[in-house]
Amino acid sequence: MRIALDAMGGDFAPDVPVEGALAAADELPRSSEILLVGRQTEIEETLAKHGAQADRFQIVDAPDVVGMGEKPLAAVRGKPKSSIGIGLGLQKRGGADGFISAGNTGAVMAASTILLGLHPGVQRPAIGTLFPTGSEPVLVLDGGANVDCSPRELQGFAYIGAVYARDVLGRSNPTVGLLNIGEEEEKGSAAVKEAYALLKHSTHFQFIGNVEGRDILRGACDVVVCDGFVGNVVLKFYESVARLVHGLLDREVGRDVLEAPAMQRVFKVLDYSEYGGAPLLGIRGVSIICHGSSPPRAIKNAIRVAMQSVQSHLSQHIGAEFAGGEAVA
C-alpha cells in the first residue's frame, strides 16, 4: 500500500508533514510506503534536520504550492504541478492508494473531485468528521464541503456515512440520525423535513429520526447527517469548547492535576488530532483532509485513517451502495 502525503500542505509545512510521516513510518508494516510529495530540496533538507535519511521515503517532486488563501478552482487549474495536483494524480494513475493533505481545503476538495471523480449517483462529496463520545466516536457529515444541500443529497450522505460506519468504525448495523432543531418529524427546514421523509423508508441502515446538537456527544447514533454549513459550525464550536475546558482547568486546578494520567486520557479523547484527518467521501478514491494547523500526531493518525480506508475498500463499497439505486442522490 502506498499513501501520498502532501509535504507542502499546512501552516507549518514541510516540517509537520515530514515529522508526521517519520512517526507513522516507525509503525507501518513493511508492505506499506509513504510518498512525500512536494519540493524535493525542501523535503530533503527537512528530513536531514530531523536526522533521517532522504532515501527513507520516496520523494515525488512537485514544484508548485497552493497557498491557503488561493481560490480553489483557479489554483487547481493554474497549478497542475502543485503538491495537491501531483499527489492526487499519482492516485488516479495507480501510483498511490490514498492521498493526505493539510493544505487548502477547497483546493483538495476540488482537485479530488476533478481528478478522481465521483461515484455514479453521488452528486456531491461530503467531509466526514469524527466526534468523541463517552464510548465510541460518532461520524458527522457533511463537515463543510457543501453549504446548501438538497433533500436527496442529505439522503445520499446518510448512505455514505452508513458505509463508513460499517467499514471503518466496525458498526455492523449502523444507526443514522438527521440533525435538526427538535426530535419531532415536522420540525426543521423544508429540505430537512423532506430528507426525513426519504430516510424513514431506508432499509440499508437504522434511521432513528431527528437528533439535536446535544445528542452528538452523547452518542445517540453512529452517523449524524446535516448540510456542510451546520456541520462546520458544530465542528468549530466543539473545537473551541475543548480548548476552553482545557484552559479553565489549567487556570482553576493547576498544571499538576492536568498532567495526571486520568486527565491526560480525558484530553486525549477530546483532542481532534487523535482522529487524524477527515475523509472526503463519495469520490472514487481516498482523500484525507487535515487541519492546516495539524500537529505531527494528527498527520500520523491521518495516515492511519487513509490506510484503514484503503484496507476496508471503503470507496468501492460506497460505489456499490449507490450502484444499487436506492442511495442515488
Per-residue pLDDT of 34-87, as tens digits, reads: 999 999 999 999 999 999 887 789 999 999 999 999 999 999 999 999 999 999
**241 is a domain residue:** yes
pLDDT for the residue numbered 86: 98
Same structural domain for residues 61 and 184?
no
Residues 97 and 137 in one domain: no
Statement to judge: residues 115 and 128 lie in one domain: no
Residue 329 has pLDDT above 70, yes or no: no
Task: Go through the chain and tell me how many residues it has.
Answer: 329
Are 52 and 145 within one domain? no
- Considering the domain architecture, whether residues 145 and 234 belong to the same structural domain is answered as yes
143-178: string of b/e by CB count within 10 Å (b at 16+)? bbbbeebbbbbbbbbbbbbbbbbbbbbebeebbbbb
Residue 186: phi, psi to the nearest 5?
-85, 0
Q: Is 234 inside a domain boundary?
A: yes
CATH of residue 58: 3.40.718.10
113 and 133 housed in the same domain: no
201-221 residue pLDDT tens: 898 899 999 999 999 999 999
Asked if 64 and 171 sit in the same domain, the reply is no
Q: Is residue 307 part of a domain?
A: no
Residue type, 192: V
Considering the domain architecture, whether residues 179 and 137 belong to the same structural domain is answered as yes
pLDDT tens track for 171-200: 999 999 999 999 999 899 999 999 999 999
CA angle 162, 293, 55 (to 5 degrees): 90
Residue 111's domain comprises: 1-122+282-302
pTM listed for this prediction: 0.93
Residue in 234, 243, 241 with CA at minimum distance from that of residue 141: 234
In the chain, the number of structural domains is: 2
